[in-house]
Amino acid sequence: QSVLTQPPSASGAPGQGVTISCSGSSSNIGSNYVYWYQQLPGMAPKLLIYRNNQRPSGIPDRFSGSKSGTSASLAINGLRPEDEADYYCAAWDDSLSGSVVFGGGTKLTVL
Amino acid sequence: EVQLVESGGGLVQPGGSLKLSCAASGFTFSGSAMHWVRRASGKGLEWVGRIRTKPNNYATVYAASVTGRFTISRDDSKNMAYLQIDSLKAEDSAIYYCTRPGLHNAFDVWGQGTTVTVSS
């Protein structure tokens, strides 16, 4: 059972948008930044969003993040077939100094 | 180019031990904490633990699920991080990744992973 809660699956047609939620607690999301990672099949995870809503260089603006209280969300607009992947939220957790907690992951299917 | 390369995975019997390695290049390794994250088949990412830098006494912290069995170490002279796994269980079977907290404390660089399979 993961500390952060995500829906196990999400789907959308090409061109459409989808939102993935992530729920935590006061010791993680409530008091720290949220990060999002994308893991394509057979690949290592890749940083998608940092500090709740910031995109690293090279990440298209179709991807956006937000946070409110102890919850966060990742929105993907203009879905493309190559977006089909597993998406994870993460946050540092104050209950164990220096630790990180992940969500269980959401498998995105582009129909 | 900033790079992390894991090695040392393999097939091990339950109760056995394994030492994973992570070779770093392209950044000031001695100035960076290093973390290990794993992903078991059919499951999500799980944070395993981290080691801090020399000024921070190489402090380590581990997930509750691995405390007492896993040990993270580093050799700054070789730009290497290690994960010693003892008393291996079937549920330790996973791909193990090393990663670093880079800009804004995000895990911005990941290795390709090394696979550990625990089976008799």
- Average pLDDT per 10 consecutive residues for chain A, totaling 111 residues: 93 97 96 97 96 96 97 97 97 92 97 90
**Chain A residues inside the 8 Å CB shell of B36:** none
Report chain B residues whose CB lies below 8 A from the CB of A92.
Answer: 105
Q: CA end-to-end span of chain A, whole Å?
A: 28
Quote the pLDDT of residue A97: 85
Q: Which of A30, A33, A29, A38 is nearest to A10 (CA)?
A: A38
Q: Does B86 have pLDDT greater than 90?
A: yes
DSSP state of B55: G
| Pairing status of strand A18-23 against strand A71-76 | antiparallel
pLDDT at B18 over 80: yes
CB-nearest partner of A47 from B52, B107, B113: B107
| C-alpha span between A55 and A90 (Å, rounded) | 15
pLDDT at B4 over 80: yes
Mean pLDDT of the region B43-57: 97
Q: Do B44 and A54 touch (CB under 8 A)?
A: no
Q: What is the mean pLDDT of chain B?
A: 96
Look at residue A23 and give its three-state secondary structure. Answer: strand
The average pLDDT across B58-65 equals 96
Helix (H) or strand (E) holding B4, with range, is: strand B3-7
Q: What gap in Å lies between CA A20 and CA A13, rounded to an integer?
A: 15
* Residues of chain B found within 8 Å of residue A37, distances taken between Cβ atoms: 45, 107
Tokens 């990060």 label which residue? Answer: A35
- Asked if the model's pLDDT at residue B9 lies above 90, the reply is yes
Q: How many helices (H) and strands (E) does chain B have?
A: 0, 11
CB A41 within 8 Å of CB A95: no
The pLDDT tens digits of the residues spanning B68-79 come to 999 999 999 999
Cβ of residue A71 closer than 8 Å to a chain B Cβ:
no
Return the residue in A4, A32, A47, A57 with the most chain B beta carbons within 10 A, the one to mutate for interface testing.
A47
Q: Do A35 and B106 make contact, defined as CB atoms within 8 angstroms? A: yes
| pLDDT on residue B85 | 97
**Separation of alpha carbons B7 and A60, rounded Å:** 32
d(CA A57, CA A62): 13
Q: Are B95 and B89 in contact (CB under 8 A)?
A: no
Asked if A102 and B104 come within 8 Å (Cβ–Cβ), the reply is no
> Strand ranges (DSSP E) for B13-119?
18-25, 34-39, 45-51, 60-62, 70-75, 80-85, 94-101, 107-110, 114-118
Residue B103 has pLDDT above 80, yes or no: no
Is B82's pLDDT higher than 90?
yes
Choose the mutation target among B47, B61, B91, B95 for the interface with A, i.e. most A CBs under 10 Å. B47
Give the per-residue pLDDT at A24: 96
